[in-house]
Each structure stands twice: as C-alpha cells, then as structure tokens.
Amino acid sequence: MRFRGKSALSSPANPHDPLARLTRIIAASVRAEADAGQLDADPVRAQLNGVRTGRIRQLTVELRAPAASRIDAVDAVLMQTLLKDFRAVVTRLRSVTHHTDQRLARVAAAVKEGTRLFPTAIDSRDK
C-alpha cells in the first residue's frame, strides 16, 4: 500500500503529519507485541497482558487532537483501528471471565466436597 509515492509503513518526513503519528503508534505496538511474545503459564494473565491499553490511549489522544477539526481518511483509519482494538479487548475480557468462572467452579466443588467429608469439624466450629 502506498500513499503519495511513499510506503504506508515507512515514516513520513513530517512528524506533525497525522498519518506519520498513526504509523508510529501502530509500528510501536507491533514491536511491543513481538517483544512480549513470551508465553505466560496463567491464561488469564496472558489474556490481560495482551490488551493494547497504551495503543488505545495514544489513538484516542490522536482523535481528540485540536488539529483534528475536520474528519479525513486518517481519522477514519484511527476510528477503525480503535474499534478493532476495543473488539479485541472485549474478546479477551470474555475469555478471562470464562477462565475465572471455571476456576471458581472448581473451588466451589472443592469446598462442597470438603464440607461433605468433614461436616463435624465445621459444625463444631460454629457452636
């Protein structure tokens, strides 16, 4: 993909150009994801670590920038990228909720089994 004779992934010359800032934000998040590509044994922690909060914050700042008085193609790309990131966050949070629900179910089963095996210890402690 090319814009005005330049690669869409190369850094445009003007650092104040919205497209240049968008390119830097996306490139930085891709590098950060590659650096953080380690597997975490805890699936919940792995899901939460994968949330792009920094990128979401930076993209939101770009959309709220005072120079953004008119909506253009860069704003459309910013909004589309934000929506994709928010969708990914919701998917990750659903996964975390599912894992947490499974953990709580296992704990509840263990507690129920414990009260079944040791009812007298619990009953005598309550008296």
The predicted model scores a pTM of 0.59
Q: pLDDT, tens digit, for every residue of 43-83?
A: 777 777 777 888 888 888 888 876 656 677 888 888 899 99
112 Cβ neighbours under 8 A, 6+ residues apart: none
Q: pLDDT, tens digit, for every residue of 95-112?
A: 889 989 999 999 999 999
Integer Cα distance of 86 and 99 in angstroms:
20
